[in-house]
Amino acid sequence: MLNKSISIAIVDDHPIVLEGLQKLLTGREHISLAGAFTSGGDFLSFIQGNHVDVVLLDITLPDVNGIDLCKEIKQLSPVTNVLALSNHSERSIMMQILQNGGSGYLLKNIAADELMACIEDAAGGRVAFSSGAQEIMARPSIAELKGIPQLTKREKEILHMIASGKTSNMIAEELYLSPLTIETHRKNLMQKFEVKNVAALIKTATEHRII
C-alpha cells in the first residue's frame, strides 16, 4: 500500500460506469478523486491545469479513440499513469495502449480488490493488467505471430476502398482498371491476411491498424 494519496480521474462515456467507479473509489484510503469525464476533450482540458496520478480510461469515447487519447495524455502530462479500462479484449489493442505510453490494461469484469491493486501498481510506476487481460496478453494470435502482411501501395489503396464499401466495379472504374484485376487484388489480399471473406479481411486489417 502506498503512503501518499493517489489522485484518480475516470474517463468513460457511460454514466452508470462513472457512477459505479466513483462509489467504489470514494472513501478508500489513499485515494482522492480528481474528477470524472464523459469525453476525451474535457479530460485533456482538465489535465493541463491539474495533477492526476492515475486515469482510468475507456477505449471507446464519443469524441476520440482512447488509444490515441492515451498518447495525448502522456504528451501533456508524462507523470500521469494511464490505465485502460475497457470491454475490448483484443490483444492488438492492449499492445497499442502500451506502445502509446499506457501503464496497463483492465477488462471491465475486474473485481474491486483487483482494481485497487492495479491502481496502486500503476501509481507505483509498474505495469498493471487485470487477470483477464493477462491471459489474453499471454496468448498472441496466429496473425500477430506471423506479423503484419506486406502490402503494395496499390493493395493498400484497394483495401481502403473495399473497407469504405465500394464494389469491384466501382473500384475498377475509379482506378481505370478492369473488374477482373480488382477481383485478383481482392483475392490476393484475402490470401495475404489468411481470411475467407471481406468482413474478416476488414476486421483483421483494422486490428493491425492498416485501415
Give, in order, the Cα–Cα distances in Å from 26 to each of 6, 29, 30, 69. Answer: 12, 9, 10, 25
d(C-alpha 95, C-alpha 70), whole Å: 12
Mean pLDDT of residues grouped by 10 in the chain (211 residues)? 80 94 90 95 96 96 93 96 94 91 96 95 95 87 68 94 95 95 94 90 85 82
- Give the closest residue to 163 by CA, choosing from 186, 134, 194: 186
- Tell me, what's the pLDDT at 145? 59
d(C-alpha 121, C-alpha 141), whole Å: 27
d(C-alpha 46, C-alpha 52), whole Å: 10
- Tell me, what's the pLDDT at 47? 96
List domains and CATH numbers for the chain.
Answer: 6-137 (3.40.50.2300), 144-207 (1.10.10.10)
- Tell me, what's the pLDDT at 142? 59
Sheet holding 31-37, edge to edge: 31-37, 6-11, 54-57, 81-86, 104-107, 128-129
- Tell me, what's the pLDDT at 1? 45
